[in-house]
Structure 1
């Protein structure tokens, strides 16, 4: 067995490119690829239309995402392609720069894909997987709820057979509400019928291609009943063009205008890629290689741009399909891409009579699925303050232009993290009766004090955000009843920055002036230990006053006093 493990490890290292193909299963991957294509074809068409692109552009994005991730990615199951989470964001941002559907719009999308791909590649190369944590769970849940609202409002006109209104989100909702009585019953039946088909299929088994079934049924009904003459709009002619090398010709200032939008899209792609690869790990016994998968997703976006498409993203539902249908490697994604390529080359005539309302029904299902209702309920019950984060993020996405709302959502997540850190205050410790354990004081737990001894700690990294408050709390302890020995329990201080180090020096100096002996216990963090060296804290607090436990410090120094 050890020999097999070594052989497997060396085999993996021998595959710098197409790494996941080293463990392919031809029958399993081909079957998974066929199922993936059946799921992806209608979904990629719908997502392309959501972004204001022709259906074949969605196919280009899927092929590029599949090839790029297979080339550099590490996860064996992850499916990469056009994604409804990021499409409304960049579509809103691009619409502010050029008319939807125009050559300029297409050029901006290509440039954006290249920029997002470059940022993802840099994130993977420099191992910046921690960026995926920029969005907290409540903010991400609110973010998805806001995106869902955008998808629903953008697709309802097509499903209702109405002209799509323009303007801010709330204005569009008001205009749609006023036009409901003019809905086309045929498009409404098609859209809701496809939605119901996908929903029922998903309930029975995620392996059933409900979207494809609904799309085929809606197309056949449209042809058989002559619904085009009754106001049902269809996709129309889909050019049987294949991807070709595309390089955007944009002025330098236009590239600059795309930087902020590219950053927002990159953060969202990183978050979703990390979540997907952690949910479907290649090896359950090993941690997911998020940085490697950033490279794969980045390569997918770069290729998508070169193919003339838009940024791509990891898809949790499609990835789950690959894992559940026997896929063993990225060969499944490549097989699906070949099927899509064949459809583009020989079968685009089959797509001519696909109703727009059917694509709208698919996207309505996607919009409803990305709303994490259970998490919203759980957060509401367990943390009302973080539930407010969900509402605030969703409101930002809905009320403001979507790209601005997404950016402010990221800012809100960072502010929430900063606020959580600044809330960390000094904690006093007590000895558990009959033991040598010192534990944070609690009203429901009896603890012991030792005369002349104060044991305090901070259960958070000590930084410029909370160090001033920590200094004030220590001053209160020293001013209330000046102890002879002050023990700082440092197990929670995993990091100490320059500002915090200077404040610690001030605390040590103040204690020395008041005749208080200071000791440090459980400085376990390697980074914190390094900070003591770099900031010369050992000059103010001799190393002989550093202990492995509070009990050891109290036994040695309290007696000495």
Structure 2
């Protein structure tokens, strides 16, 4: 292969499979760290996969299936060196919320729907990457995502409390479930509760005493040992039971056509939420380790991982922040960490599945409850409350949406809140009257700097947004209010064009109406900034010349005005 061909192949490989391209130039000095990190990730992923399978409504082995091939797929197609994908608490809760009503208690249909949902989510993610929708990662703002995840955590917490106490809690909603749990106090199975509380104790204490060992794995090992030694499974303590060894049998999912619309809607919600959550984790660790990630390639990688989950007869997955943190803390530096973790989990599934049958359901509930508690971000809520009451209210509304209508329907609530917030910010931007500050260059908002000086007859105005269809009327209204406040002595209105990155036909017509108003009042319209762009834009749209004045900068516009004034000094601008 020639040098030019090799270069084209490398560029093609980086676009198609960035992870594989990185692995092809792997540095041997990274191997010790990646090896230790891969084994450490597997140690965390094993108990979490088993627990999250239960949360999603599957047998434990399905959680292990979801922890192998998706990891390999992401390692080949992802751009993050640290990110680990796999079963995720929020994603599993969404899967269960979407599929339970559709399957109506049919276990075979439930699994088929899950496989179809994972595959459809993967296809939608890949399509989104082709049309460059990676920016969707920014669409769910931090306050709304925090509120949504807080609501999901409460949803998980309510669903696991009954399993911890050994009673059945089937009331819909968080508050009814909590009330039902309290009412069944006399029916608690105390051996089950003691096993669950013991697992809790290990989860709380082991990070302090044995910080190098995964707390979830240790808790499940201790609980399984207690069950096996004291034969608690024969005394009413529910356990996982036999876990089939080996890899899954590949089957084509059977999905009734009348359920496809609801499945597609759930897939779209899953794709958006799981991608947004994954990108928060991926960007955090990329910034920590000083490299960049490609949002569109990450969308495709998430899609490939979900298709891999469907191939292995499991459920939709996402980025896993706790396992990613373990990868980074244990010294993982490349995508090989995920490959090693997947191989380690596969070896356990093939050769060491027998001990898993003693793991008690109550211990899994304890792991899930601890995971749900870790999802609750009170520090972020406190920051939002200090920073903006509006942002705090949005977060709380997102949480209430999950509690009130459930996780899947709450996605629509979250999207509506995001859209409302976006429209509000874009349609009602800040409008500033500008003035000069002593000893400082440029022009600054008078509202923020009362000491700023303005010149009689001159109004410098900044509209901090594009002028388009959803804010054009507001633009005209705010400019007219500023003109009225400036008084009858106003002669020049200077608009700062730098923040106006775009103007559509509605914005242009609003500007033309404003020009007519200014002519009637004898006020000269001046546009400052983006001079060359504006000239080319006017030429491209075949616009006739009018009496509007154009200057390259606000300073030159102000100098031109002062130079026209009797006894004026243009140097003051």
TM-score normalised by structure 2 residue count:
0.90
Equivalent positions of 1:472-483 (< 5 A) are: 472-480=477-485, 481-482=487-488, 483=490
Task: State the partner residue of 2:185.
Answer: 180
TM-score normalised by structure 1 residue count:
0.91
Unmatched 5+ stretches in structure 2: 1-5, 566-573
> Given the alignment of the two structures, is residue 516 of structure 1 paired with residue 523 of structure 2, yes or no?
yes
CA offsets 1:241-275 (integer angstroms, 9 cap, x no match): 41343322324432222121111111111111211
Using the TM superposition, give the Cα deviation of residue 491 of structure 1 relative to its aligned residue in structure 2, in angstroms: 2.8
User: Which among 403, 416, 419 is matched to residue 398 of structure 1?
Assistant: 403
Equivalent positions of 1:364-403 (< 5 A) are: 364-403=369-408
Question: What is the CA–CA distance in structure 2 between the aligned matches of 1:204 and 1:128, rounded to whole Å?
Answer: 45
Out of 517-526 and 251-260, give the one that drifted further.
517-526
Question: What is the CA–CA distance in structure 2 between the aligned matches of 1:339 and 1:529, rounded to whole Å?
Answer: 63
Task: State the partner residue of 2:153.
Answer: 148
User: Which among 237, 244, 253 is matched to residue 232 of structure 1?
Assistant: 237
Question: What is the CA–CA distance in structure 2 between the aligned matches of 1:109 and 1:530, rounded to whole Å?
Answer: 54
Question: What is the CA–CA distance in structure 2 between the aligned matches of 1:224 and 1:29, rounded to whole Å?
Answer: 36
CA contact (8 A) 2:113 2:254 kept: no
Out of 410-419 and 421-430, give the one that drifted further.
421-430
Task: State the partner residue of 1:52.
Answer: 57
Using the TM superposition, give the Cα deviation of residue 525 of structure 1 relative to its aligned residue in structure 2, in angstroms: 12
Question: What is the CA–CA distance in structure 1 between the aligned matches of 2:341 and 2:535, rounded to whole Å?
Answer: 52
Task: State the partner residue of 2:446.
Answer: 441
Q: 1:409 to 1:235 in 2, by over 3 A?
A: same
Question: What is the CA–CA distance in structure 2 between the aligned matches of 1:217 and 1:256, rounded to whole Å?
Answer: 45
> Given the alignment of the two structures, is residue 497 of structure 1 paired with residue 497 of structure 2, yes or no?
no
Unmatched 5+ stretches in structure 1: 1-6
> Given the alignment of the two structures, is residue 302 of structure 1 paired with residue 307 of structure 2, yes or no?
yes
Question: What is the CA–CA distance in structure 2 between the aligned matches of 1:119 and 1:206, rounded to whole Å?
Answer: 40
Q: 1:310 to 1:430 in 2, by over 3 A?
A: same
Using the TM superposition, give the Cα deviation of residue 93 of structure 1 relative to its aligned residue in structure 2, in angstroms: 1.1
Question: What is the CA–CA distance in structure 1 between the aligned matches of 2:418 and 2:380, rounded to whole Å?
Answer: 17
SS in 2 for 1:487: strand
Question: What is the CA–CA distance in structure 2 between the aligned matches of 1:443 and 1:475, rounded to whole Å?
Answer: 21
User: Which among 513, 532, 550 is matched to residue 546 of structure 1?
Assistant: 550
CA contact (8 A) 1:457 1:488 kept: yes
Q: 1:538 to 1:410 in 2, by over 3 A?
A: farther
Q: 1:350 to 1:435 in 2, by over 3 A?
A: closer
Task: State the partner residue of 2:570.
Answer: none
Q: 1:242 to 1:286 in 2, by over 3 A?
A: closer
Out of 294-303 and 22-31, give the one that drifted further.
22-31
Task: State the partner residue of 1:23.
Answer: 26
Using the TM superposition, give the Cα deviation of residue 86 of structure 1 relative to its aligned residue in structure 2, in angstroms: 1.2
CA contact (8 A) 1:430 1:448 kept: yes
Q: 1:344 to 1:434 in 2, by over 3 A?
A: closer
Question: What is the CA–CA distance in structure 1 between the aligned matches of 2:148 and 2:297, rounded to whole Å?
Answer: 26
CA contact (8 A) 2:47 2:220 kept: yes
> Given the alignment of the two structures, is residue 73 of structure 1 paired with residue 81 of structure 2, yes or no?
no
Aligned alpha-carbon RMSD (Å) = 2.7
SS in 2 for 1:449: coil
